Structures are given as C-alpha cells and as structure tokens.
Amino acid sequence: MNSLIAALLPIGVFGSCPFMDIGTPPSLKAEVISDSDFKTALEGLDIEALEQDLRILMTDSQTCWPADDGHYGGFMIRLAWHCAGTFRTSDQKGGCGGAGIRFPPESDWEDNGNLDKARALLVPIKQKYGDALSWGDLISFAGTVAIRDMGGPTNPHCFGRVDDADGNKSDIFGVTDSWQDTDCVVQGNCQEPMGAVKVGLIYVNPEGPLNDPNDLNSGQNPDPEKSAVEIREVFGRMGMNDSETASLIAGGHAFGKCHGAGVMTSGFEGPWTTTPSQWTNQFLTGMLDEEWEQVATPSGSAVQWQTKDRTSILAGTMRLTADLALVNDDAYLALAKHWVCDQQKLDIAFAASWKKLVESGGGWLPVEDRRCEPESKATGQQTDPQKNFHSVCATTTTDDSQEASTATKFCLSFLAVVLTPFSLGVHSWLA
C-alpha cells in the first residue's frame, strides 16, 4: 500500500538510471521463453551466487538513485511487496508470478512510483543469470535478501515464477484514471472482488479511510481505530489473518523511510525507526512507549504523526495512521505486546507472513519443477532475553492459535513444494 512499506524516494532529483527500458519495457512487450525452457534453465540457477550478488547490490549505491543510509534494502522490500501485493482471494489473481509490475497498468500506479528505478538497478543481475532467473523470481528474492542483509528473519525462498510478456493479466486490477471500468463502485472504498481500496494502491490508504465511504472527494480520516477496521478487511481479501497482517506491517516498517518533503511519491516524510537499515522491534515499542500527535506532512499534502515528546529519541521518526492502527485495535494491540515481549515470536511470524506474501498467486511452474532453498537458509528467530525486555511484558498474554495455524499450514504446503528432484533440501518446519 502507498507507504505501508519502506523506502519511498523522491522523483526527478537524480539522473535516469541505466537499463530503465529493460526493467520497464517501453514497448509494453517483452520476450519470454517457454515454460519448458525455463524449467530446464532453472535447474542450473546458482542460488547461492545470486544471493551474494544481491547482497553486494544492496550497499552499492548508484549516483543515479542513491541508496538511503547506504542500503537499498527498503527499496527492494517495497518492490517485492508491491509485485506480490496484487494477490486477492476473490479469484486467486495477482501475485508476483508473471512480474506484472514491469508493465502497465501496474507500473503506472501511484503506489508504484519510482519502482522503475529499483527494477533498473536489478537489470545487470538479471542479465548475468539470463533465462535461469525470471523477473518474478528476481524481484521477490531481492526483497528476501534485503531482509536478510539487514539482519531480519526469513524462511527459505522458492523459485519458479514464470514471466509474462506483457501486463494484460493485470488489466482486471484497473487503470487509475479509468477505475470505473473495474468492479470498484467507489474509488477509495473499493469492495470485493477488488483487493485494494483504491485502483492504483496496494492494500489501503495509509492516511486512513475515506471520511465519507461513498465519496472519493471527502478526504481521508486519520483515525487509527477506523483504519484498523479497513486494514483487517482489505488484508483479509489478500488471505491474511490478524497475525499475518500485523507482522507484515510491523516487520516491513522495521526498515526504510518515506520521502515526501519535496517532489514526492507519497507525500509522507521520515523513517519509522532510528535504524532504518537494521532489524529491530522499535517500530512497535515506539508506539507502545510514546504518545503520537497528528502533523501535516512537509509537502502539506497529507497527515502523518510525530511523537508528542519532541525530546524523545524517536523525535526524528514518524508514523502513519495505518501504523497506529496496530495499537488502537484490541487484537492487533495484543499481538504487538506479545511480540515486544518475545521477539522470537515476531521473527517467526514475520518470516512466515513474508513467505506467504511473496508466494501467493499463480504464474508458477508446476510444484515438482520449482526450486527452493534448504532449511539452513532460515534466518532470525533470535531469543536474547535482554532484547525482549519491555515494561508491558510482566502482564502480557495472547493466544498463539493464529500464529500456530499459519505455521502449520505453511509447513504442510511447503513440504509439498520442496520434496522434488530439483529441490535444494527438505524443510521440516516453516514458521
């Protein structure tokens, strides 16, 4: 969704990056190989070498589009999330299979502004690995490696997304200026079968729902409680339960920042934490420890939140209305308290929900033809009790049933994926 993920960068400040026309084909058509040829090529993909190349990329800042704090991690997480975030359960359409984000209408959506630069940065790696590496696999794996490189938790990644030659399969999601041609009745409050609330967004508007649910021009209501209701509804359309939803938001916003002080993508400005290229739970602890107040964004185009205590160590960070939904809803708040008391639980929940996100949808080779990393590639799941201390922890309890259910379902489904001749290993758990 528009800034419910990291690393929104300013438009037009730097020169055009090389390879823009490859990452985002201007002809609106790309050459693709047959599924059988891709299956054969995928067997030879050196996944370990690919990960190392992506890790090098993360800190190899380019003058055409410099990395925030010297790390492209937040940018690549946003690219992977937005590629996968089109998935909806109403018809099982969407997802990063096909890499529709390279083409209109997805490439033109307001929520995907500047992601053409992220794809351009990936082109040399795509060229190096050729047919063995699809764009869908590259984009999704770049997000996974970004999380790992910043110390975050991940589960083994699977490959086998088949690229499309154009964006025709995304036409059902709509063109922003022609949203009336979709199944959406009120732009900004789209209902099922649509996934997002607005044609051109991923998920919800981070500033809050419409003041009048029947009027696009009524403006956004920066009410965290009402935002929580909308978040639950919309993430549910993408097949996410409360634990998966909250962990994706909390984990995704451990990284990166919004850029909107001048020429902007989103209008929002600032990092979520004091360490935007390092995995921590400060995103959650900050909302539990601080009082937050509404302020106008530097661009004057929207509302965001800052700490009331302007001497706080978090005074230089910000929150969005949709962020504060996590501490203004009973179910989300219980999860937030649970995770700051036991970060291992957050690690496990985020790793599982991230894997579910990037593997949702169609556009894959058959299960038996895919390749997956071995169990040893799982990262995170730290248990340092000193990191888990928080003032709420003495009295906090929560029901683990949703997290356990998610872990169980993924374990069973993932075993079906990895028990193949081309698998790199067998996974006995996924949580």
Q: Which residues are catalytic?
A: 82
**Residue 306 — φ and ψ, nearest 5°?**
-130, 165
Of 192, 365, 220, 339, the closest CA to residue 280 belongs to 339
Contact assessment for residue 279 and residue 256, using Cβ atoms and an 8 Å cutoff: no
DSSP code for 258: E
335-367: burial string, b at 16+ Cβ within 10 Å, e else: bbbbbbbbbbbbbbbbbbbbbbbbbbbebbbee
Contact assessment for residue 289 and residue 161, using Cβ atoms and an 8 Å cutoff: no
Q: Is 28 exposed, middle or buried (0-12, 13-18, 19+ CB in 10 A)?
A: middle
CA distance 11 to 109: 14
CA distance 230 to 238: 13
Q: Which two three-digit tokens encode residue 408?
A: 């169980």
**Residue 292 — φ and ψ, nearest 5°?**
-120, 145
3-state secondary structure of 62: strand
- CA distances 172 to 105, 138, 238, Å, are 9, 24, 15
Question: What is the per-residue DSSP string for 80-92?
Answer: HHHHHTT--TTT-
Of 214, 248, 242, 238, the closest CA to residue 228 belongs to 242
